[in-house]
Chain A
Amino acid sequence: MRFRWHKEYILIFLMIGLLVSFFNGYARHEDGTLGIIKLPNEGCPVILSPGQTFNIVAEQKGTIFLIDNEKNIIPLNVQWEEKKTEIYKGSVILMGEDIKAGSYSIQIITEGGAKDVNPRSIWVQNEFREYYTFAHISDIHIRSDSLQDENAITFQTIIEKLNQSDAQFILLTGDLTHEAKTEQWQVFLNILNQARKPTFVCAGNHDRNEDNYEKMFYTSTYAFRYGKDGYIIFDTREYRTADSWGEQDTLLYRYRRELKSSRWTFGITHRYEFTMGIRSQIILFVDDPIDFILYGHTHRENTREESVIPWGKTRVYVVPAEKDGFYRIFDVGEGGLFPRPIQNVKGK
């Protein structure tokens, strides 16, 4: 009986969330795929301080605005690069007296008058602390188009828990859906947008259905800085894990160099396997080893033997499956990365 009440609670909460999203100008396409603005988005946001610059990727050029939670619209100055590919890249300076700490949607109004909004894409912090926390969840496996699906309810419950936690942001390391179907993505995004923290996603092997993942989040390889630390999110796909033929090795090398000055550098991915492309391993674990790697995939915590990547310098933290109720919060400080005990919302 109590459980049923709980589900109804969640349903009401989701409805409110959908309404909030609607009035906030939620503007992905009807099937959940990205509209005009590709980056940043709610799975690949930016966290920065006033005066800093961030990059925008869009299908069309236009004027850029921030929208805060009170629906105030703040114009920003954007410098668009000359178009070299099928998309436009721009550089936006976060300047304006009205910009306070908090979350913002990013809006574009194109030269042709078309409008697009990505919610929860810009997170402004006045300062970055030396000591901070983040949450790690993985293997959510949204299976159906129903918000009442068991995995969807678990995801919702954990997002609620993390909203109340002291985590500054949430890392979601793949298998966000079970089959990467449109309706599964829609449920995932609905719940993701309940989060009141920045959410960074990466692709898992279950998130592959042609190029659906890229249509939802545009890129599966990116990096960001949080204060003194660097985070590299990369793709370890099914079967041939991190192949050497495509563009990812280029990006991994570039990000690794850009984040070389970081206090700590984190690799965020869905899995690590011995069969992972040797070039990616050389870049991340050998020539200039990252300090920590966080992933999921196995649905269990790593064993003691698995606590270091075999090349010897990168510490491993694997979180059990979120669909089974698990999540973990980490403290980060001068001394390194400190995992708190793994939590479970299902009482396991």
Chain B
Amino acid sequence: MKKVFPVLFLFSFYIINSYRVFSDENPEGHIAYLCGLDIDTYRVHTIELETNVEKELTIGTHHGAPVWSPDGKKIAFSSKMEGGLYIVIWDSVTDKYKVLKHQYSWNDTPSWSADSKYISYISCEKGLTDQKAVVYDIEHEKEEFWGGEKIPSVINPVWFPKLDILNAMSATVSQVTYTEGFDINKFFEEGYSIGVLIGVAVFQSAEKMLTTELVLFSKTQATPLPKELMLESARFEELNPQVSPKGSSLVFETNEAGNREIYYLGRRGISNISNHHLADWNPVWSPNGEWVAFESFRHGRRGIYRVFPETARVFPLVVSGDYDAWSPAWSPDSQWICFVANPSGKPQLYLKHIEEDKIIPLTEKSVSVAPCWRPKTK
């Protein structure tokens, strides 16, 4: 026992000191966000956290939420130009813009493939009921509609970083039923060639009401997530699918429980991981794949929480009775979040270490929203 005490003493000394170092640590990197008086004047800005040096991206107007490429070199966003909404790529190395060539006039919600070579987005003429998922080959400047003709309309398509998702998910059930005409072999063939997307299909039910369903799609193939995995998905409205960084599990929100909840779909099946009678929405995976941040109204005002999906243990991240907090964006090391809050009356960006209480103000401008933390540059 006498031998253990010095070891414990040294260990506790180490813990205390490492915590001090840890506390004094400041977040690093770049954050891209929208800044302006309001939605009519939003433009993408970037800020370097070490120096506070800012840059405004000036092309077009009415900018949409910025998305860093996984290699940390480019930002994609939508911008109003000449009668349409175009996807624009800004190269942070060359400081040049590339405006994608589109067939339709309305293009929004860009998402990068894991290798930063492709961008998916929605493209349409009217809106919610005719949105097509499009994939743009940046090198060859080629726009292709994905998913075939079976998906009437889709919102928020995002990429799977790896292709083992279906294998992982189907391991939970003995038999998986895909939609009629779905060619699983072709799906994987196309998936290994370029990639696979998941999005939210919007379609009319038999009662002529719109409803949503999660769909997987490759270049020519599309299928709703197999019914063996999704319970009664046709009766409920799913939204915001987010694939884990390793590609082996999925979180999304649905009103299946009577109110909006975050569901987790992994190797052990499907489970409600937020489980509260007030709304829980907008799940975001931490880059290390351990946590899912989400927004909830469970303590009155809109706040940010994190949940460990394997156990569904929920921890508050930013919760206040005086202001709302939303739009969490993880740092590349998964130790910090950047988020939007309105303690000053107007939405501004703030930083918070996930293990500490201190909140660091980042912007003090008219309105700052939609933060996106730059991944580590590869």
Contact = CB atoms under 8 A, between A and B. Distances in A.
Nearest to B327: A245
B279 A287 contact: yes
Contacts of B323: 84
A311 interface: yes
Contacts of A303: none
B39 A240 contact: yes
Interface stretch (A141-149, A165-173, A274-282): A274-282
Interface string A303-325: 00000001111000000000000
- Classify the secondary structure of A's interface with B: loop
A53 interface: no
Interface string A61-105: 000000000000000000000001111000000000000000000
A239 interface: yes
Interface stretch (B122-130, B141-149, B167-175, B265-273): B122-130
B369 A86 contact: no
Contacts of A250: 301-302, 324, 326
A339 B41 CA distance: 38
Interface residues of B, number: 50
A37 B322 CA distance: 22
A313 B209 CA distance: 8
Nearest to A81: B322
A211 B255 CA distance: 36
B64 interface: yes
A273 B127 contact: yes
Given A245-B34, A245-B369, A286-B237, A310 B129 contact: yes
Most central of B209, B278, B297, B343 by chain A CB within 10 Å? B209
A274 B122 CA distance: 14
B155 A84 contact: no
Given A85-B344, A238-B40, A311 B62 contact: no
A253 interface: yes
Contacts of A243: 39
Interface string B107-132: 00000000000000000001111000
Given A253-B297, A278-B239, A211 B65 contact: no
Contacts of A274: 126-129
A250 B342 CA distance: 11
A179 to B, nearest CB: 14
B239 A282 contact: yes
B344 A208 contact: no
Contacts of A286: 237, 255
A247 B370 CA distance: 12
B367 A246 contact: yes
A287 B323 CA distance: 24
Nearest to B324: A250
Contacts, number: 95
A250 B323 CA distance: 11
Most central of A273, A276, A287 by chain B CB within 10 Å? A287
A144 to B, nearest CB: 23
A278 B253 CA distance: 13
A310 B207 CA distance: 11
B38 A312 contact: no
A157 to B, nearest CB: 32
A270 interface: no
Q: How large is the interface on A (under 10, 10 to 19, 20 to 34, 35 or more residues)?
A: 20 to 34
Given A246-B369, A253-B297, A278 B209 contact: no
Interface in A217-254: 237-240, 243, 245-247, 250, 253-254
A210 interface: yes
Contacts of A247: 324, 342, 347
Most central of A245, A276, A279 by chain B CB within 10 Å? A245
B291 interface: no
Contacts of A282: 237, 239, 255, 260
Interface string A265-309: 000000001111011011000110000000000000000000000
B37 A210 contact: yes
B279 A253 contact: yes
Interface in A326-344: none
B160 interface: no
Interface in B283-332: 297, 301-302, 322-324, 326-327
Given A86-B344, A250-B302, A275 B127 contact: yes
Q: Which 3 A-B pairs have the closest CB atoms?
A: A312-B209, A274-B127, A85-B345
Interface of B: 34, 37-42, 62, 64-65, 80, 85, 106, 126-129, 155-156, 204-205, 207-210, 237, 239, 255, 259-260, 278-279, 281, 297, 301-302, 322-324, 326-327, 340, 342-345, 347, 367, 369-370
Given A287-B259, A311-B209, 7 more contacts: A208-B40, A210-B41, A211-B38, A246-B367, A253-B302, A274-B128, A310-B209
25 contacts: A84-B322, A208-B38, A237-B39, A238-B40, A239-B39, A239-B62, A239-B80, A240-B64, A245-B39, A245-B42, A245-B327, A246-B39, A253-B302, A274-B126, A275-B106, A275-B126, A278-B155, A282-B239, A287-B237, A287-B255, A287-B259, A310-B204, A310-B209, A310-B210, A311-B209
